[in-house]
Amino acid sequence: MTAPNTVPPNPPAIGQPCPACGQPVESRLVCLACGALLALNPTSPGGLDFFGWFGLPPAMALDTALLSDRWRRLGFRLHPDLHRGDSALGPALALRLSSAVNAAYKMLLDPAARGAYLLAELSRRAGFTPDPKALPEGFLRDMFNLQEQLEESGPAEQQHTRGGLNRQLQALRTERDRLLTEALETALPEAPALTRIQQLLNQEKYLVKLSAE
C-alpha cells in the first residue's frame, strides 16, 4: 500500500501525529506506520538529521536496540515495490534513501564514527573546524616507543604492554564521550574543547591500530 503523499512543510517531531495516517511519528524520514515521506530534503540531510531518521536524540549514548529496530523497519518501509505510483517517494528515491539509511545506521553504530559526525556538527555551530590531524604534543613519539617495545619484548611483556594500551584506549573513549556530551549541551561549543575531541578521535585510531598489530 502506498500513502497519500504530499510532504509536510515542517516534518513532525518524534511522537507527533503523522500528517498522512495520524500515528505518532517514530522517524523523521518516513512514517513507519504508513510509509509517508516526512523529510523535505531527504537526499541532502543537514545538521544531525541522521539521528532524527531513527527517531533518536543526537548523543554519544545511544539505545542501539532501538536504533536496530528502527533501521529494520525503515528498510521495510523503503522497499521500492511499496512506492510504485507514489508521487513524493517513488521507487527510485526509495532505493536511494534505503542505501542512505543503511550507511547512516552503520555510521551511528560505530562510536568513533558517531563521535566524528557529532564533532562535524558542533564545529559547524561553533564556526570553528579543528585541524583534522590534531594530536597532543609528544603523542607520536610515545606511540613509536610503544611500538618498539611491542616488537622487542617477549610474550609476557607484550601482554603487559597491551593491557596498558587497552586501559589508555578506555580512558580516551571515556574522555571523548564526556567532552562530546558537554559540547552538545553548550550553546556555543568552544574551540579548545573541539580540538581536544578531534585529538581524542585521532589518538583512538592510533591506539586501535597498535593494539591490533
Q: Give the shortest CB-23-to-Zn ion separation in angstroms.
A: 5
Give residue for cell 573546524.
Answer: 129
Is the separation of the CB atoms in 61 and 34 below 8 Å? no
Query: Whose Cβ is closer to Zn ion: residue 39's or residue 183's?
Result: 39
Enumerate long-range contacts of 104-108, CB under 8 Å, 24 or more apart.
Answer: 104/50, 104/53, 104/54, 105/54, 105/67, 105/68, 105/71, 107/50, 108/50, 108/51, 108/54, 108/56, 108/62, 108/67
C-alpha cell of 130?
Answer: 579543528
Q: Give the shortest CB-181-to-Zn ion separation in angstroms.
A: 33
Q: Give the shortest CB-36-to-Zn ion separation in angstroms.
A: 5
What is the H or E stretch that residue 130 is in? none
C-alpha cell of 131?
Answer: 585541524
Neighbours of 212 (CB within 10 A): 8
Q: Give the shortest CB-18-to-Zn ion separation in angstroms.
A: 3
Residue span 36-75 as binding mask against Zn ion, x where in contact by CB under 5 A, dash where not: x---------------------------------------
Q: Give the shortest CB-52-to-Zn ion separation in angstroms.
A: 16
Query: Whose Cβ is closer to Zn ion: residue 13's or residue 140's?
Result: 13
C-alpha cell of 209?
Answer: 591500530
Query: Whose Cβ is closer to Zn ion: residue 21's or residue 193's?
Result: 21
| Window 4 to 43, contacts with Zn ion (CB under 5 A) | 18, 20-21, 31, 33-34, 36
Q: What residue type is 93 in one-letter code? A: L
Question: Does residue 78 touch Zn ion according to CB under 5 A?
Answer: no
Query: Whose Cβ is closer to Zn ion: residue 11's or residue 115's?
Result: 11
Applying CB under 5 A, the site for Zn ion has a residue count of 7
Residues of this chain that bind Zn ion (CB under 5 A): 18, 20-21, 31, 33-34, 36
